[in-house]
Amino acid sequence: MTPADATLQVRTFRRSPLSRARGHVGALWRRPLTQAIAKAVLTIYVTSTITFFLIRLMPGSPVELKIDELMQNGQMSYADAAAAASGLFDIDLNAPVGQQYLEYLANLARADLGNSFLSQGTSVTSIVLAVLPWTLFAVGTGLLLSFVSGIGLGLVAAYRRNSPLDHVVSTAGSVISSVPAYLIALLILLIFGIQLRWLPITQMRGAFSPGMTPGFSPAFIGDLFFHAALPISVFFLTHIGLWILSMRSATLAALEEDHVTVARARGLSDGRITTAYVGRNAVLPLVSQFAIAAGAVVGGAVIIEQIFVYQGVGLRLVKAVDQRDYPVMQGIILMTTVAVIVANLVADLLYSRLDPRIGRAGGASGT
């Protein structure tokens, strides 16, 4: 052992526990996954803070709206309406905004979203969980169907490049992907529901029919699809164009790779090349896009659910905004933010797992 090695061992042995702890923290912080989680937490905090203050800048408070309602419907004086309204709400809006903000952060740190202003004793979490499954069902079904169909059509269009089928599929995908979701929903409602009367719009409102017992029975599942058919159709149409064009472009790029040329030279069948060499590599970018789209569409379902009167998170948010139910608004917006952030994180992790090159290059799961 050289004198330099002996000196290094002595210095290492003499390191204080604080220095070793700092070293461990520094090594942990250098991990991309740790940085991604820290950024996600910071984003959630900033979004929650902005939401808290923006909501309180809205004109009118829940108490003022209830006072106006009592004065109009009950022919009451302002004093009587104010006295009646103050007893209906579990709320203290006269407290300083700073105090309300600190209480909000303290509750948020305990994963407590609070109670609804308008429904005393009803937690925001229970309100959100009561409508969240229906939004996830409609969004998930529409996205999954569009993803599978778009991958298949994009793959076929790429293999039949410059054919009439390729032109039809590519043009249709470009047109559909350029139309906003709310416009497709309105067109379906006006043309097929009102003009042609092919769709029983009134009967399709809500998440399921009154009197139906929730469960895994065929009758209830069929009723769910009946009521969610229009939102599912909109989510399907607004995303299938993206998957078609993305898969076609990725497949054309994969067909030019050297390993595909080598596979053909080895005499492998077209089916084997398509599944093992072309399709697998071409679908990788779309997997991450799918996770991101799933998180974003949950937040974008507000307008679609309002148009079709579908009892999901979006329609509940609109009702909370109309009633100035601050905790419910904050809870739904926070849930949407978390969904988008988690979807991005999952997409990064999933992509790095499917493609080891990303992990070695410093993806979220890289070390």
Under a CB-based contact definition with an 8 Å cutoff, are residues 304 and 310 in contact?
yes
Average pLDDT on 135-146 reads 90
- Ordered by where they begin, the domains of the chain are 124-355 (1.10.3720.10)
- Does 358 have pLDDT greater than 60? no
- What six digits make up the tokens of 316? 């509940």
- Would you say residue 365 has pLDDT above 60? no
Gyration radius of the chain's alpha carbons: 27
Residue 320 CA, distance from chain mean position:
19
Q: Label residue 20 by pLDDT band (50, 70, 90).
A: low
147: confidence class by pLDDT, cuts 50, 70, 90: very high
Q: Which residues pair with 115 in a beta bridge?
A: 123
Closest CA to 43 of 302, 340, 272, 244: 340
For residue 275, what is the DSSP state?
A: I
Q: Any residues with CB less than 8 A from the CB of 244 and at least 6 apart, and which? A: 150, 153, 154, 157, 169, 170, 172, 173
Instruction: Please calculate the CA angle 239-245-248 and round it to the nearest 5 degrees.
Output: 135
Question: Cβ atoms within 10 A of the Cβ of 241, count?
Answer: 24
pLDDT for position 14? 52
Nearest to 345 by CA among 32, 72, 17: 32
Residue 192 has a pLDDT of 92
Task: Give me 88's structure tokens.
Answer: 């209906």
**Dihedral angle sign, alpha carbons of residues 182, 184, 187, 191:** negative
Q: Which residue has the higher pLDDT, 170 or 24?
A: 170
Q: How many Cα atoms within 13 Å fall on the side-chain side of residue 366?
A: 16
Q: What is the mean pLDDT of residues 228-238?
A: 93
Q: Residue 123 gets which letter from DSSP?
A: B
Q: What is the pTM for the complete model shown?
A: 0.78
CA-to-CA distance for 270 and 350, rounded, in angstroms?
Answer: 28
Cβ within 8 Å of residue 185, ≥6 positions away: 230, 234, 303, 304, 307, 308
